[in-house]
Every structure is written in structure tokens, then in C-alpha cells.
Structure 1
Amino acid sequence: MTSTTFRRHPSLLAAVEEVSGQRRITVSVHDGKPPLLVDDVRLLAALSTLPPGGFTQAEALKAWADAGLGDVQAPLWTYCTKEAGLIVTTADSSLHRHDAYHQATRSYPFLDMGQAKAFDTDNALMRQYTATDAYPSVYTDLPRSQRWPLAKAQTVAAEPEEGGYRLPEQLALLLDGTLGERRRLDPDDTGTYLQVELIFKAVPSGGARHPTEALLWLRAEGMPEGLYHYNVRANALDLLQVQPDVAELAAACPALPQLTGGTGSVAVVMLASAVERPMWRYRDARSARAVLVDVGHVVQHLAELGAWLGWAWSDLPGFDARALAGHTGLDPDAMPVLAMGVLSR
């Protein structure tokens, strides 16, 4: 029995899920390759009972025997070290202890744009995508009954008049200042380089995909109470044709009533994601995290900008996203509501 020192693969990720009533283990050491799908929970038990840090084969087998796995020691060891590579020697200096993090954040299909040929490779991929799938619009337009144009944030005076910014100015700063278009790239094809249509906003977004759209149930002086969509193309608040009763929204979000009482101005913000925009560009299940990070940027920007304007942001947890979709007319799969909050003053 060898005295070589081993360790669990530093990129080892394992999860237990239930499929058709059966527990299944998903094990991966590289998320650019298909994961292992294992039905025998003894594998997870074996991996979890290994000594921390380095260990010899003898120490591993003893740990497994103590855990009641003595009858499968030999096949387990062969599988984990040779067939699946779940256990590696500590002599392999190319496997850093932080590999699990790096593999989870920098893996296929993302390219290392520091490489000389990366832009050419990426552009060829974009050509392939446009040849097979229509490029999704960078804008969202929802059926409306009325439109309230907003000023561009940069045109609002740096110092408000006595009494503070008026409501239209506050909404312009909040919405255009967070989600409004700051710059755009028109589609172009030089024959050697393909540029797809992109827009840029104040909030960062992976690949400038900007999937987050804002719907607001607004109660404010001088505007009809109801559900609006911030239309980026028009820089306007569109009063939607679909108008849910506030009681319907409250039923889908139990925390809502306590935050919308009183007579002051209130905006119930529903942040929905046009998921096709990033999905068209990043065709990997793990890129869903970019959609969630995008929503997080918008929440924080609205909260901080709102605080500067005198609006208080409160998160609304525990909402029923599918019920909200039914009340707002959104497709829960194509544009799910991923975050809710209330801006009030």
C-alpha cells in the first residue's frame, strides 16, 4: 500500500438532488465537462469522511472502514483515484486549493480574453449564433394605455429648487439614472468583425446584456395610480393596459400591505429579467448567476439613489413570482420577476 499523500480534488463540487423520487449525487471537478451522476450515496459518504488536508491511502481506507464502508473500500479507492479523479496526489502542484472557486467562475464556455486569438474566436461564435438564432431586442415594449415621458437624468439640475426635486425630476433621476440608456453600439458588420446591437447603462451588466426591466405599481400625486413599465427605448413610464388590483399584488407578496399604507408616494418595484438577452450570448446553465447579479446591481443602485432623493427602499421577500406574472401579464419563463422592493417617502 503506497505512502503517497493524497487529497480531495480542490475543485470537487458535489450536490444531492431528488429526481423522480430517487436521490442522486451530482459530482464535478471541472464544470466545463459533464458532471458525474451517481446513484450510490456511499460515494458522497466516502468523500465526506476523508481526513482534512493530506492523507495516505491507508488513512483513507481506515476512515472508510470506520464509517462502515469497509466492504467497498477497494472499488471506491480505484474509482476515486483513477476512474473519476476525485482524489489526487498532493504532488500535483497545478491543482491549487482555490481551484474550486476559479473553476466555478472562469470555465467553459467563457473565453480568456487575454489571449491574442480570443476576440476572433468570440466573433466567430457570434456569427454562428446569429446564423441560427434571432438576436433578441435590447429593448422591451409592453402594451400601454398612456405614456409619461421622463427627462434624461443628466439634464436635471444639479441643485434642486427650494423644496427639493419635483416628482418628475425624482423619477427621471431614479429610473433613467439607474436603468436608462447612456450609450449604444449600433449593429455593424465589416466582413471581418460583427458588432451586435448593445446599449450601456449606469448599472454594470455582464456582456452589456442588461436583462433587468422595471415594473412599478405607483401611487404618486399628479399621476394615475397603477402599474407602469419603465420603457428604456422611450425613457418613459408606460401605464400598462394590464392593471392588477393592489390586493392581487398583496396576495402574491404577503409583506406588501404593511409597506404601502399611508398616503405618501409609494412605488412597488418589480424587477423582471428578459433572460433571452444573456442566454443568447452565454449558453451555459451557470451563466444564470449573471442574471441574478444584474438584478442585484439594480436593487443596490435604486436603494442608494433613492436614499439620496429621500426615498426609503425596503426589500420584499417571499413573493410568488408566478402569481405576479399572472397579475402583470408577463411570461414567467421569458421574463420572470426576480426581485421586489418598495420605494416610499
Structure 2
Amino acid sequence: MATYTSAIVGTGVIAGFHAASLERLGGRSRIVAATDIDPNALDVFADKWSVPGRYPDLDTLLAEESPDLVHLCTPPGLHAAQAVAALERGCHVLCEKPPVLSLAELDAISAAAGRARFATVFQHRFGSGAEGLRGLIGDPRLGRPTAAVCHTLWFRPDEYFAVPWRGNWDVEGGGPTMGHGIHQFDLLLSIMGDWREVVAVAARQAKPTATEDLSCAIVTFANGAVATVVNSVVSPREASYLRFDFEHATVELNHVYGYGDDDWTVTAAPGHSDEVAAAWAAAPTGVRSGHDAQLAAVLDALDAGVAPPVSLPDTRRTVELIAAIYASAFTGRRITAGELDADSPFYHRMDGSGAPWS
């Protein structure tokens, strides 16, 4: 295995997750540089993680360093320009969610990628439970998928939105559909595959924000399965709940911000207990969802010379669903996959020509 060099862009809380994961991965990638607009935050981070290169901005960092992997841990509104800058210099990019503010920004990143790779941090794809379930799609022991539930029921107090970039279309790109539920329905998509159409509603129920604080969608997949997707920051009893109904089994995941093997349950339909139990028993175990698992997979991909997960096509499917949820909620129409092209305002902004309450 090669030893890679990493640069951290933005040294807030999430950057600490990246640094800690890299440390636990035993030196497979070492942090050689970091940048933050707050020099004090930069120094605290660099001192804690023994980072030698400290820079006031990304352009200066890239002029002085040539990291293999640039970790974008900044607010969402900065991601697209920072990703393009790094990719154009041949650096691979690992970007926190949400990766962009629009489909237009994601396509601009795709155009800049060249031989460098871009991947999004969707760490819930990487627990062993999700890996096992993906491997069982199409297995006759479970049968074909028929229905799914994907509910991100979280709570954020009013003071959470006092941070200037939160709840702001221009900087955050949206509310819980964009920044909170995205992890759960990205996991849903990674298991269920391509979506075909969506109908949705969105509302501002209680929070001091320009964006929605609740959205509800019905998503139909190419395989015919139908899912309900709820994204909320107005739910005091927090839960992240996914349910997958197959012809012969129900598979459920109950957690909040991360899961292990014990958070999954499998219920067989009458008459199918033995084969369902055997199928699930053969699935991989032992890996929690989280940054450790995804960063290991990214470095494995770089070792193999292939695109790291979650690649641009995977990312686009998830971002397109977000745009479609907003488009359906704000126009009252059913939105089909591929419909939101450059002629649509929802291609350029998640709120299109403006939220109904703006």
C-alpha cells in the first residue's frame, strides 16, 4: 500500500473526523497541509494533528504543495470552486456533504475532473450492513424489492441556525433535504438503484430559516419499488430509520448518526425463514458506518488506480433527487429523472426561481 499525502481545507469539527480517521488508518495517508480563513482555528488543528504546512487559503496551499488528496471540510457554498481548483491541479478530492449547491455546480466539477478523481463523503454506504444488503439485491432468497421507508427525523434548536451559512439557500443550498437527510437517502439509493420519479412537499414548520425545515417525498424506482422519504429538523425524538421490504423479507435499520451490525434487523415472510436467515448470515459483518470505513475504501481505490467511492455518477444521482424533491415541492408537479436540464431553474438552484414562502 502506498502512503498518500492529504491536505485539509477547513479545520472545523468535521475536519477532526477526517484527521482522526487517517490516524487510525495507520499512516496510509499523512496530512501535510491545512488551510482555514481563521488563523487561530488553523493553528489549533495543525498543532493537534502535527500538520507542517499551514496556509491562509487554498490557492496558496496548492501553489506550495502537491497533495494526493484534498479533503473539503468547508461550508457547502465553497465546495464547487475549491473542488475545481484542486482537480485542475491534478489532486484527487474528497468532499463533505452536501457536495454542491446545484446540479450545475456538480457538472462543472465533472468537466474539471480530467484524470483526477472526485468523491463525496457519504459514509453510511460503508457499514457492513449496507454492504451486505447491496450484495443481496436480486437474490431470490429475499425476492424483488417492493417498498422502502427512509426517514431522517432529527431536531435542531433555533440557535443552530444562528451560524450565518445555515438555512441559507445561497450558502447551504437547502434545509434538511440538502444537509441532513441526504446521508440516509443516499444510502437508500445505493441499495435500491436508479430512481424514476418523485412527488414531494416541503414546508417551514417552526425554525428561523429561509429554507424548509421539513420535506416529504414519494420516490418510485426503476425496479418498480416505491419509497417514502422524510427529512426533518423539527422532530424532538430523533431517529434515522430505513426499511426495505422484499417479497420474502423485511430488512430494517434503526440508528441516529451512525450504525453497527446490531442496528439491523431482518424479518422473514412466513415460509421463508431458513433461506432468509442463511442469506443474511453469509453477509459481511464487523464494520461500522463512518469516516474510517469510507476513507479506507477511498485509499484502497487509489491503490488500485480506480475511481474512489462515491464517484461523480453516484453523487449526481443523489443530488438530482434532491433537486427533484425541491422542484416537485415548489411546483406541485411530478418530476422524472433526467427532466431537470440546463433549461430548468432547479438545475441552477435548489430553490429554482424562489421558494413559495420567500
- Asked if Structure 1 and Structure 2 have the same fold, meaning a TM-score greater than 0.5 normalized by the shorter chain, the answer is no
| TM-score, L = length of structure 1 | 0.21
Normalization by structure 2: what TM-score?
0.20
Structure with more contact order per residue of length (Cα contacts < 8 Å, sep ≥ 6): 2
Task: Give the number of the structure whose alpha-carbon radius of gyration is greater.
Answer: 1
